[in-house]
Structure formats: structure tokens, C-alpha cells
């Protein structure tokens, strides 16, 4: 059985569903997932954890001169998002870059990240959209 490349990407659950891990001992949460808790060490019990993806902009910058392959997307904002569950994650903030501000609420959206040429694989992932 030959598996398509897009299927193999979709099977990476944490990439599309914001699935990280949580230490059941101390309740610390991690994204990307971790195999052990750095606080509890051997006493920690790690389990899967589904993040909501909702949070607020903790820091951001606007990219006006993009790296190769992303020139058509400029200007775009990239930021650190403080998720409601306490973990910080980086990613692109979609929409009007003039509306991006520290503290603004965001929600996750599933969008195209890039393509490998005109007939290549399309890579998808999570970005963040401003709420309101």
C-alpha cells in the first residue's frame, strides 16, 4: 500500500490538532509534546493534552522582506501566542497586520503554510487569526 505524502502529514495529529502533553503530577503543559516533565522528572506522569489554541498575542513582529518562498505573503505578522492553557507557541498571525497588537485575542485557523513548487506537496498547518 502506497501512502500519499499529504496523508502522512495529516497523521501527525499534534501538528493539526494542537495536541501536546500534560504532566498529571504537577499539571504543567507542553507543546510540542514532551516525553517527561522537567519539573517532576521520574515522578511525573505524562499524558496527551488537547490545547484549545485560543490565547493572546504576547509579542509579534511584522515581516516585510520575507525569506525565499514566502515573498508573496508580505507583509505578514509572526508572533508568540500565550495560550489560555498557559503554554506559549510561535506562529503566523493572519489578517490585517495593522490590527495586530500585544494582548489581542486570537483563535487557531488551519491554513496553507507553503507549496513545494507548482505541482509539489502543499503543506498545511495552524496559524492564528485575530478575534473581533
In this predicted model, what pLDDT tens digit does every residue of 27-72 receive, in sequence order?
A: 999 988 999 999 998 888 999 999 999 999 999 999 999 888 788 8
Residue partners of 118: CB distance under 8 A and separation at least 6: none
Domain of 100, CATH number, reads: 2.40.50
Q: Are 127 and 94 in contact (CB under 8 A)?
A: yes
Domain check: are 64 and 123 in the same one? Answer: yes
In this prediction, residue 93 has a pLDDT band, given cuts at 50, 70 and 90, of very high
Domain check: are 27 and 68 in the same one? Answer: no
* Among 51, 73, 89, residue at a domain's last position: 51
- Quote the domain boundaries for residue 95: 52-132
* Among 51, 69, 85, residue at a domain's last position: 51
Backbone angles phi, psi at 111, to 5 degrees: -140, 165
Give the distance from CA 33 to its chain's centroid: 12
Distance between CA atoms of residues 39 and 36, nearest Å? 9
pTM above 0.85, yes or no: no
Amino acid at each position: 500500500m502506497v501512502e500519499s505524502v499529504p496523508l502522512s502529514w495529516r497523521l501527525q495529529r499534534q501538528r493539526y490538532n494542537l495536541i501536546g502533553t500534560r504532566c498529571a503530577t504537577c499539571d504543567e503543559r507542553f507543546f510540542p509534546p514532551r516525553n517527561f516533565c522537567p519539573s517532576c522528572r521520574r515522578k511525573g506522569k505524562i499524558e496527551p493534552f488537547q490545547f484549545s489554541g485560543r490565547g493572546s498575542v504576547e509579542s509579534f513582529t511584522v515581516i516585510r522582506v520575507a525569506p525565499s518562498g514566502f515573498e508573496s505573503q508580505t507583509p505578514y505578522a509572526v508572533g508568540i501566542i500565550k495560550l489560555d492553557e498557559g503554554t506559549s507557541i510561535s506562529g503566523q498571525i493572519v489578517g490585517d497586520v495593522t490590527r495586530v497588537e500585544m494582548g489581542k485575542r486570537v483563535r487557531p485557523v488551519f491554513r496553507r503554510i507553503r507549496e513545494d513548487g507548482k505541482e509539489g506537496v502543499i503543506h498545511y498547518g495552524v496559524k492564528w487569526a485575530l478575534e473581533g
